[in-house]
């Protein structure tokens, strides 16, 4: 297979670590901002197949990473389920919150794929335009994280509303998680059908849960999604990202059956290399702030991460997404360093 990213994701040692960056398409790129300024809202950009594909490929032209990730958003799934989703400048996403079990009937699972069909056309356009030695990653938010926005109505500081519901009405909350899980399976499967080479689950708020709740609302839904996708697409590899999970990364890796796990910035790469199941590929985990700083601190951190992962298959990435204030020239410097690592 002449695809470095997929070779590593399949558990093979590669001559260098393949790399891509979370949020490698986004506000730090002037070419992205030029498109964003011409579109009526972030969600409309996500659902404009031609423009979303153009944005997906922008970092591929600039930095030549080993994989592209679909330009979209994790809140496409609740939008597909019939919720209103607005992205407000300075505030982030705003949703018409689900307040209790009686509100679940507002969701419309039957229309889910139809309402976000443009996303799958974006995948097809991107796969057609990418050379075969570059992988295309599809993605979705994990049910717990997506549900936080659906219930809190947007971002939250303490997740009191969703956590309170999960504690006091576990049956009702599980109904919502089940609906989101089914929609996520459909969403990922449709991306694979249109050409995604691998898929990733983002569980950005996994780290706010206690161990018992983590097992119920992170591990179980993730395992259900992985099993369903592998049953339908047995050759497609899955990456999980339970951000902030700490020592619970071990249970996540052992119990969800993901093929690869993305580790966040707080995780010591030497600990991950030593403690996480050797059958799982590790992705990560440079601090996005070091990418802003650039120079020697950035390259030293990159070198340290690669060195810690030298005994196992590794995909280089950040511990979270590229930040808007990141100088593009720093990303270019890092990309060149990673591409030429070990040569000369």
Of the chain, the end-to-end C-alpha distance in Å amounts to 25
Q: Pick the catalytic residue: 23, 120, 197, 259?
A: 23
C-alpha 188: how far from its chain's center? 12
Pair 76, 68: CB distance under 8 Å: no
Q: Tell me the C-alpha to C-alpha distance, in Å, between residue 175 and each of 112, 169, 172, 211, 306.
A: 17, 10, 5, 21, 42
Structure tokens at 123: 């995948």
Beta bridge partners, 138, equal 199
Tell me which H or E stretch contains 68.
Answer: strand 67-69
Q: Pick the catalytic residue: 16, 27, 62, 115?
A: 27
Is residue 142 exposed (0-12), middle (13-18) or buried (19+ Cβ within 10 Å)? buried
Q: Pick the catalytic residue: 28, 32, 79, 149?
A: 149
Tell me which H or E stretch contains 125.
Answer: helix 117-129
State how far the Cα of 127 lies from the Cα of 193, in Å rounded to an integer.
11
With CA atoms as reference, report the closest residue to 329 among 110, 62, 148.
62
To the query of whether residue 50 is one of the catalytic residues in this protein, the response is no
Structure tokens at 13: 């040692």
Structure tokens at 166: 């999960």
To the query of whether residue 32 is one of the catalytic residues in this protein, the response is no
To the query of whether residue 23 is one of the catalytic residues in this protein, the response is yes
To the query of whether residue 36 is one of the catalytic residues in this protein, the response is yes
With CA atoms as reference, report the closest residue to 331 among 32, 39, 48, 15.
32
To the query of whether residue 127 is one of the catalytic residues in this protein, the response is no
Q: Pick the catalytic residue: 28, 32, 73, 264?
A: 73
Active site residues: 23, 27, 36, 73, 149
């Amino acid at each position: 297979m002449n695809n470095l990213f997929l070779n590593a994701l399949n558990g093979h040692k590669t001559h260098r670590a393949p790399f891509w960056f979370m949020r490698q398409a986004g506000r730090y790129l002037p070419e992205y901002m030029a498109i964003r300024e011409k579109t009526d809202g972030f969600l409309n950009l996500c659902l404009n197949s031609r423009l979303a594909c153009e944005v997906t490929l922008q970092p591929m032209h600039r930095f030549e990473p080993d994989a592209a990730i679909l330009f979209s958003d994790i809140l496409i799934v609740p939008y597909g389920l019939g919720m209103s989703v607005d992205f407000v400048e300075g505030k982030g996403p705003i949703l018409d919150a689900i307040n209790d079990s009686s509100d679940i009937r507002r969701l419309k699972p039957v229309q889910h794929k139809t309402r976000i069909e443009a996303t799958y056309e974006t995948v097809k356009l991107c796969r057609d335009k990418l050379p075969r030695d570059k992988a295309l990653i599809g993605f979705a938010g994990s049910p717990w994280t997506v549900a936080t926005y659906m219930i809190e109505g947007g971002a939250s500081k303490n997740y009191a509303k969703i956590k309170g519901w999960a504690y006091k009405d576990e049956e009702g909350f599980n109904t919502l998680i089940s609906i989101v899980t089914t929609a996520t399976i459909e969403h990922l499967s449709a991306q694979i059908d249109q050409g995604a080479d691998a898929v990733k689950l983002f569980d950005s708020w996994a780290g706010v849960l206690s161990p018992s709740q983590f097992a119920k609302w992170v591990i179980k839904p993730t395992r259900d999604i992985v099993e369903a996708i592998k049953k339908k697409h047995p050759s497609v590899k899955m990456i999980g990202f339970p951000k902030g999970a700490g020592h619970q990364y071990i249970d996540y890796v052992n119990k969800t059956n993901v093929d690869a796990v993305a580790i966040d910035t707080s995780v010591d790469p030497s600990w991950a290399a030593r403690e996480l199941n050797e059958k799982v590929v590790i992705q990560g985990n440079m601090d996005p702030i070091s990418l802003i700083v650039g120079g020697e601190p950035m390259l030293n951190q990159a070198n340290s991460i690669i060195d810690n992962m030298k005994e196992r298959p590794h995909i280089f990435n950040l511990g979270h997404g590229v930040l808007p204030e990141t100088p593009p020239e720093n990303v270019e410097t890092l990309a060149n360093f990673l591409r030429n690592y070990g040569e000369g």
